[in-house]
Each structure stands twice: as structure tokens, then as C-alpha cells.
Amino acid sequence: MIFFEQIISGLVTGSIYSLLGLGFTMIYACTKRINFAHGELMALGGFVGLVFIEIFPSCLFLSFVLGPLTIGLIAIIIERLFLRRLQEAQPLKIVIATIGLSVVLSVAMQIIWGPYPKSYPNFISEKPFSFIGVKIIPQNLFIFLISISLMIVLQCFFLYTKKGRALRALSQDRYAARLMGIKVGQNISLIYCISGILAGIAGMFMAPIYFVSSSIGTFLGLKAFIAAVIGGLGSVPGTIAGGFFLGIVENLSSGFISSKYKSGISMLFLVLVLLFSPKGLLSIFHKVNLLKWRKSKK
């Protein structure tokens, strides 16, 4: 039973990794750049959400809408002010710039909200109920279900709406997309906004588990990036799978081996995946023709 409980808590951390990793993946797919300030946006989401909860203590739903929207707005501002200047620069330069930005953001949060972690109110009761002998905390179930439904909505948005199709065209070939009348700058802003909103939601979800502090952003952002790379940077289903995979592996290893080397194990996975299958774990399925077989049958 401990095994299943570890897996369930792995699914909860995994859903946070996936929500964050989706931001990395979408920005990478559309601009071929990686925004390392993304983890800090998540921490900021936690703090801003706390501010809104204190303003509207009675209506939790309202702060869950307003908090992420604010983060989306901040993401657009960051993109317009700093990252658009670097659009044509070398990829590594933008990485260095965004790491600088993340340091700035985390220190700014430390100045505003202080260095100590802040506790968060629970959305739903923390009293566990048991389901076929496995103890489940309702709040974790809530986090998991909401994240899964958000991911499904996102995937449907990319597959079935006109705007989503435009974004996919943008990720394939920016110049061809511009020739077809897709406004590149506007759509990149939209992508930053969506990823900011997801980061804000992840920030409010992780807050009851990890507490909010100014240093949590770098830590979780790195994990989410590893998850995205493990699953396959640039592919939405890959990133979701990678996030859940990393969450489960981390929880199982800390449960059964040692919690000291928890982040070391995820780093080890990153190196192994990069060495043997640099396009992510999902590309292994392509390699063994599991997916091609279905296509040829059609």
C-alpha cells in the first residue's frame, strides 16, 4: 500500500512538473529559445495568489483566476521588455540573459515578501479518505484532476482551434507562417501569456505542498525543465508524460532508496536520457516503430 501512496504523491508532484514544463516546451517550440525565468514566474504566482487570497478571503475561486492572469501579464511584459530584443541572438545568450532575469526576480521577491517560506491556506480539507485501502488526500486529488483537465484543454486548443493551428504553424516555420499572414510577434506574446498563466496555476498548486519562498522557483523550475527534456522538449504530450514520469520516479526513489539523493537521481536521469535518446523518451516509441506500425496499417 505504501507503494501506491508513493505513486499517488508522485502523480501530484508530477502534475506540477508537467504544468511548469509545458511552459518551457511551448516557448521552445515557438521561439526555439528556453526561458529560465519560468520557475521564478511560478514562485511569483504563489506570492501573488497569496495576496489575492488575503484580499478576497471568502471567494477562493476569484483568486485562482486573478492570480494566474496577473502572472500571464507579467510574462508578456518580460517578453516585450527583455526577450524580444534577443530574438536574433545566439540561443546561449538568451539562456544567460534569462538566468540573470531569474536571479533578479527571485531577489526582488525576497525583498518584497521576505526570505522566510510562507505557509498557505488549504483549498479543501486535508483529511485523508481511504479508497480500496489507499489513503488519498482530497486536496491532492483536486490538484491532480484540475491539472489533468487543464492539460487536456490545452491540447485541444492546439489541435482544434484556429489560433492553435496558427501557433503550430509558427513552431514549424516562422517565416512561412509570417508569409501566410500569421502575426508572429503577437502570437509569441500569446504563448508567453499562456505559459505564464500555467506557471501561476502551478505556483498556487505547489504552495500548500512546498510552501512559498523566493528560492523555490529555481529549484522547481530546474526540475520541470528536466521533466520537459526527459519527455521531449517541444512536444506537449511528451512533456506531460515526462513530468508524471519524473514525479513518480522521484517519489519512489526517495521512498525506497534515500531522500538525500532525490535531486541527484533526477539529474542522473537527465544525463542518461540526453545521452541515449536526446529527443526525449517518447521518441523511443518512434524508434521501435510502435507508432509507425499503426500508420502503415491505415
The residue ranges that bind other proteins (CB under 8 A) are 34, 82, 85-86, 89, 91-93, 95-97, 99-104, 106-108, 110-111, 115, 218, 222, 225-226, 229, 260-261, 263-264, 267-268, 270-271, 274-275, 278
Grid cell 521531449 in the structure block, residue? 232
The enclosing H or E element of 274 equals helix 262-276
CB of 125 or CB of 259, closer to other proteins = 259
Closest distance to other proteins from the beta carbon of 266 (Å): 8
CB of 67 or CB of 247, closer to other proteins = 247
Closest distance to other proteins from the beta carbon of 276 (Å): 9
Grid cell 536520457 in the structure block, residue? 273
Closest distance to other proteins from the beta carbon of 21 (Å): 13
> Comparing C-alpha atoms, which of 141, 151, 255, 250 is closest to residue 205?
141
Closest distance to other proteins from the beta carbon of 144 (Å): 28
Q: What b/e readout covers 11-22, taking b as 16+ CB neighbours within 10 angstroms?
A: bbbbbbbbbbbb
CB of 154 or CB of 233, closer to other proteins = 233
CB of 4 or CB of 82, closer to other proteins = 82
d(Cα 64, Cα 22) in Å, to the nearest integer? 19
Closest distance to other proteins from the beta carbon of 149 (Å): 30
CB of 196 or CB of 221, closer to other proteins = 221
DSSP letter at 277 equals -
Closest distance to other proteins from the beta carbon of 185 (Å): 17
Q: What b/e readout covers 51-83, taking b as 16+ CB neighbours within 10 angstroms?
A: ebbeeeeeeeeebbebbbbbbbebbbebbeebb
CB of 110 or CB of 283, closer to other proteins = 110
d(Cα 71, Cα 69) in Å, to the nearest integer? 5
